[in-house]
Amino acid sequence: MDLYKEVISTFAEQFEDAKKSEPSDHNAMTLATAGADAKPHSRVVLLKDFDDRGFVFYTNLTSHKGQHLRSNPYAALSFHWKSLSRQVHIEGPVSGVSTPEADAYFASRPRISQIGAWASLQSQKLNERKTLEERVAEFEAKYKDVAVARPPHWSGFRVLPKRIEFWKAGEYRLHHRTVYEYVGAAWTKYLLYP
């Protein structure tokens, strides 16, 4: 098996294990970005899809993370599955998902989440909660008897891994760390000291 297939297969197995053992949000991951100012920012988002093309999440493109990724299209993802004593760290360049992918995922969301994508001016200052509630009511009325269209400012990003580390807790902090890294034109695999 080539190393990239091995890494995606290993992640898929661990992701399935997490789905069974994590009490909630097994797909929660910390997303780290840096804007044009090079200052790091992190937040927790949800992994919505992955395959050999990369790891996908969705957001408002005008949010801080959306702005960061447009000015500096590189990100790091971290999964921490406490119940499994495992972590996975992923780094790589970022690109947008296709329009059909974004449309399909948006259509699968609960209707109130679709309305929220229109109503929320994500990451902008909000004077009071009532303002958001009024915007939600406005868009609920606008889309009362029709399907909610995907906003042009809402889409997804795909992180194409260039480095993935699988971390497994070891007794007395003698952890197991295996790294897959794309170097030159090929994938390599090596271990790290804990």
The helix (H) or strand (E) run that includes residue 168 is: strand 163-168
The yes-or-no verdict on residue 93 having pLDDT over 60 is yes
Is position 92 within any domain?
yes
Q: What is the pTM of this model?
A: 0.93
Given this model, what pLDDT does residue 31 score? 98
Helix (H, G, I), strand (E, B) or coil at 42: strand
Instruction: Give the domain CATH number at 34.
Output: 2.30.110.10
Question: Across residues 81-100, what is the average pLDDT?
Answer: 97
53: CB partners within 8 A, 6+ apart: 158, 160
Give residue 175's domain range: 3-111+152-192
Q: What is the dihedral of CA 182, 184, 188, 194, to 10 degrees?
A: -70
Is position 134 within any domain?
no
Q: What is the pLDDT of residues 111-170, one digit of tens each?
A: 999 999 999 998 889 999 999 999 999 999 999 999 999 999 999 999 999 999 999 999
Report the distance separating Cα 4 and Cα 90, nearest Å. Answer: 13
Please answer whether residues 119 and 139 qualify as being in contact, where contact means their C-beta atoms are separated by less than 8 angstroms: yes
Is position 118 within any domain?
no
Tokens of 155: 């889409």
Is position 145 within any domain?
no
Please answer whether residues 159 and 92 qualify as being in contact, where contact means their C-beta atoms are separated by less than 8 angstroms: yes
Report the distance separating Cα 181 and Cα 183, nearest Å. Answer: 6
Q: What is the DSSP string of 145-163?
A: TSPPPPPTTEEEEEE--SE
Helix (H, G, I), strand (E, B) or coil at 19: helix
Report the distance separating Cα 106 and Cα 78, nearest Å. Answer: 24
Q: What is the pLDDT of residues 27-78, one digit of tens each?
A: 999 999 998 899 999 999 999 999 999 999 999 999 999 999 999 999 999 9
Is position 164 within any domain?
yes
Is position 44 within any domain?
yes
Helix (H, G, I), strand (E, B) or coil at 21: helix
Is position 126 within any domain?
no
Is position 141 within any domain?
no
CA angle 6-8-14, nearest 5°?
100
The number of distinct structural domains making up the chain is: 1
Among all chains, which residue has been given the structure tokens 């906003």? 151
Helix (H, G, I), strand (E, B) or coil at 127: coil
Residues with active-site annotation:
173
Given this model, what pLDDT does residue 1 score? 56
Given this model, what pLDDT does residue 123 score? 85
